[in-house]
Amino acid sequence: MNYYVCLLQEGVSSIPKLIEKAYANNYNVVATSINANMVPFEPDESDPTYPATILSAMDWNSKVIFTMSDVDVDSPNVKLRQHAKEVLLRDVAWAEHLQNMGSVMVRLRGPENDNLAAIVRSKTKGNWFIRVPITNPDLATFEHRKDATAEEVAQAESNDPWSWWNNLRIAAKYSSKVKVVVELNDSDRPSKETVRRWLGEPIEAIIIPSSLFVRNRSNYCVLKKEWQLIIGQFISVRANIIISTNPKDNALSQYADYLKKLINENCDTHVLNSYENMLEIPLQPLSDNLDSYTYEVFETDPVKYKLYQNAVQAALIDRVSDEEAKSKLTVVMLLGGGRGPLARAIFNAAELTKRQVRLYIIEKNTNAIRTLSNMVKTLWANKDVHIFSKDMRDFSPPELADIMVSELLGSFGDNELSPECLDGALKLLKPDGISIPYKSTSYINPLMSAILHQNVCQLLSTVPAFDYGYVSLLKNIYHIDEPKALFEFTHPNRVEKIDNTRCKVLSFTVKKDCVLHGIGGYFDTHLYKDICLSINPLTHTAGMFSWFPMFFPTRPRTLKEGQTISIKFWRCVDATKVWYEWQVVNSPDDWEHHNTCGTGYNMRL
């Protein structure tokens, strides 16, 4: 992963020299005033600060973050406000002249930011980095002031800088060019929940003041354990690092080297990182065939097939005693053979338990059949294995199965129609036959994620994006409350009239002021007895990456700490399709009812 470590210094007389110093000390970006060199505080000041030619266009774009004049365009004082606007607009014009895709940074001063938002929206090139203190700076001053009243403290606590940012980004219409830069300070360490909430925002970077560093016994600049943990969390959601210090500081390289070490320790490296926060519209489970690339990705899961193998092993031992091992044949039916990974797990299980197994592989994808057939001819030439190129619902078996093995589960458990498929395959199973897996449960919880919301909005031009559920590797999210169990399905389902529709309301408590952007969806499944797979964040199977969570969007609404929100979820079935509907049902008013009649996301039968 490419993180940058940026040196932020004000009062600089030469930007090229600052860059030189920063590079010599292992920084790769600098941040400094756009009016470096001198400060023409009059907006119509004609004197130059520096010519455009001191850096090349490429350097202006890639090496410099401009900090804008620290003026209050939302001041209640008309004169001050007017002057501030002129100064900031002049800075914007100069920034747009120098940078195409570069970035400018501006500091929030309080909750009122409507004029700033208007200026933010008017700039068409590059990004805005919005600098926000992680906690209200007033709180820090109280640490030194023993005379602060409880009322003053309470007021400062309620004036939460996150809400300053929230007001601005709403006024700036969730523009993807507007990102937040969270500024730490040495006098107040934020609570865990405060940090977690910021992870649901489009974090560009965190600012670490050099005063956060302490000297260790070897006289090196280091961070205390508590700060390491906080900064590590930001790094894990791809926040870059900005070190803020004064021009005379001579420990610059120690800070940069220390942070680069911290980045290496905390950056979440995995091959799927390009999927983070992306929204994928799920495939049609019955009509779309997987391609070879998708099979290949799933086959590399280091955990899933091992757990399936353990489950089949345990089932074989339970069904066939050691005495019968040589004589008793267990018929296993694999529903959906793909390119063979589960077949391999079943053969491994038979070999390890020394049980006799006859394996029927049913697979509807004729392309996968080519590869399976080749495996039968080469790898499994001496096995009792039979391939059928069929939809499992239409398959007439030559004999009934002791064990039915399948991996038909989607990110939300039943969303790839495993209930319908396994119900349809019931006729393949002996009366005492078992299904691996035998139970699956879906889970949901409310989420804040500005980036996912932006991505949903971008899809609006092509699909009714708020009526879709998406598969997404959730990264920049805040769990407003913990996941709770939603729908459960068990197999085999031998009730006479099977009903796979469901409806349930779950209530959650808002842990901190935030915005609801949607609902996270997860599942766990019991393969055999207590052998489980889970993508529920509370119980996630370690190392397993076969399933990303789901995300069901809602229209954004700001929530207050302590508030209860109730989410109603439906699983609906008609003759041709299965779909979900969802709605926040908060008294006194219900929010939008999503995906009514399955007009958006649905699974065709």
- Return residues touching its own copies (CB under 8 A): 46-53, 56-57, 60-61, 93-94, 96-100, 125, 289, 291-293, 295-297, 339, 365-371, 373-375, 377, 389
Q: Is 258 annotated as a binding residue?
A: no
| Strand pairing class (502-509; 564-573) | antiparallel
Nearer to its own copies, 100 or 264 (CB): 100
The Cα 527–Cα 347 span in angstroms is 17
Nearer to its own copies, 149 or 378 (CB): 378
Rg of the chain on CA atoms, in Å: 29
Nearer to its own copies, 157 or 291 (CB): 291
Q: How far is CA 511 from CA 180, 480, 527, 590, in A?
A: 21, 6, 34, 21
Shortest distance in whole angstroms from residue 47 CB to its own copies: 7
Q: Is 392 annotated as a binding residue?
A: yes
Q: Is 550 annotated as a binding residue?
A: no
Active site annotation includes 204: no
The Cα 392–Cα 86 span in angstroms is 70
Q: Which positions ≥6 away from 68 have C-beta within 8 Å?
A: 34, 88, 91, 92, 95, 104, 105, 106
Shortest distance in whole angstroms from residue 279 CB to its own copies: 19
Q: Which positions ≥6 away from 481 have C-beta within 8 Å?
A: 445, 446, 508, 509, 510, 511
Q: Is 391 annotated as a binding residue?
A: yes
The Cα 501–Cα 494 span in angstroms is 16
Shortest distance in whole angstroms from residue 348 CB to its own copies: 18
Q: What DSSP letter does each residue of 141-154 carry, written as one string?
A: HHHH-TT--HHHHH
Shortest distance in whole angstroms from residue 399 CB to its own copies: 23
Any idea which residue has 């455009």 for tokens?
A: 52
The Cα 62–Cα 45 span in angstroms is 28
CA atoms within 13 A on the CB side of 109: 13
Shortest distance in whole angstroms from residue 97 CB to its own copies: 4
Residue 335 burial (C-beta neighbours within 10 Å; 0-12, 13-18, 19+): buried
Among the listed residues 407, 496, 561, 581, the single catalytic one is 407
Please answer whether residues 243 and 256 qualify as being in contact, where contact means their C-beta atoms are separated by less than 8 angstroms: yes
Six token digits for residue 502 = 């469901």
Active site annotation includes 416: yes
Determine how many CB atoms are found less than 10 A away from the CB of residue 175: 16
Shortest distance in whole angstroms from residue 292 CB to its own copies: 4
Nearer to its own copies, 53 or 149 (CB): 53
Nearer to its own copies, 120 or 290 (CB): 290
Shortest distance in whole angstroms from residue 373 CB to its own copies: 5
Nearer to its own copies, 218 or 462 (CB): 462
Please answer whether residues 474 and 447 qualify as being in contact, where contact means their C-beta atoms are separated by less than 8 angstroms: yes
Phi, psi of 277 (to 5 degrees): 65, 5
Q: Is 295 annotated as a binding residue?
A: yes
The Cα 86–Cα 535 span in angstroms is 52
Nearer to its own copies, 293 or 396 (CB): 293
Q: Is 305 annotated as a binding residue?
A: yes
Shortest distance in whole angstroms from residue 345 CB to its own copies: 16
The Cα 472–Cα 275 span in angstroms is 7
The Cα 274–Cα 214 span in angstroms is 36
The Cα 411–Cα 433 span in angstroms is 26
Nearer to its own copies, 344 or 504 (CB): 344
Among the listed residues 183, 201, 204, 416, the single catalytic one is 416
Specify the amino acid at residue 11: G
Q: Which positions ≥6 away from 266 have C-beta within 8 Å?
A: 231, 232, 233, 235, 236
Q: Which residues are annotated as a binding site?
A: 295, 304-305, 363, 391-392
Residue positions in the annotated binding site for S-adenosyl-L-methionine?
A: 295, 304-305, 363, 391-392
Residues annotated as catalytic are: 407, 416
